[in-house]
Amino acid sequence: MSMEHCSLCKRMGLSLALLLFLAWAAPRQHLWAQHTPSKNTSARQAEGENTIREIRTVGGKVEIEVTSAAGFPVRDELVILRIGNQEFTQSRPPKDGSLNALIFTVPAETFDKLSDGNEVSVHYGRNASAEVRRFGKLDKKLRGKKK
C-alpha cells in the first residue's frame, strides 16, 4: 500500500465523518430555528416553554393541543398525555407536521369528568420515562379558546 493511497483514505474518512455530522446537525438546527419564544409569558403555563395551546370540541371528542419548544421527536414508544391520574394515548401531529406540537383526543364525557387543577404532562412509553414534559394545571376554561 502506497503512502498516497493511505492519505486518500484518511481524507475520505474525514470527509465522510464531516458529512455524517452535518446530516445529524442540520435537522436539529432547522427545528431550533422554527421556535421563536413568545414574549407573552402570561399565555404560557408555569412550566416555561411547554404550553397547552388549545382545547377544542370536535364532535363527541375533545382535542387538547400541546406545544413544546423542545419538540416531540418521533420514537419507537407510545406518547402519553397524563391529566391527573388519567392517561390518554390517541394523538396526532398538527396539519403542518410540526414536531413542536401534538394533538391528543379525549372522549368528551371523560374530559368533562376531569378536575380543573389536575397536573398535565406528556411522556413516552407506558413506564413513565425520565423525560416528562409538564404543562401546568388543567384549566377547562381554555376550552374553545386559542392561546
DSSP track, 52-73: EEEEEEETTEEEEEEEETT---
Position 9 scores a pLDDT of 47
Q: Which amino acid is at 77?
A: E
Position 137 scores a pLDDT of 95
119 and 137 Cβ atoms separated by less than 8 Å: yes
For residue 18, report the phi and psi dihedrals to the nearest 5 degrees. Answer: -65, -45
pLDDT block averages, 10 residues each, the chain of length 147: 51 52 47 34 50 93 95 90 95 94 96 96 79 92 77
Grid coordinates representing 26 are 442540520
Say if residue 45 is exposed, middle or buried (CB neighbours under 10 Å; 0-12, 13-18, 19+).
middle
Dihedral, CA atoms, 62, 68, 70, 71, nearest 10 degrees? 40
For the chain, give every domain's residue range: 1-34, 41-142
Position 35 scores a pLDDT of 34
135 and 118 Cβ atoms separated by less than 8 Å: no
CATH of domain 41-142: 2.40.30
Relative to beta strand 91-92, strand 61-68 is: unpaired
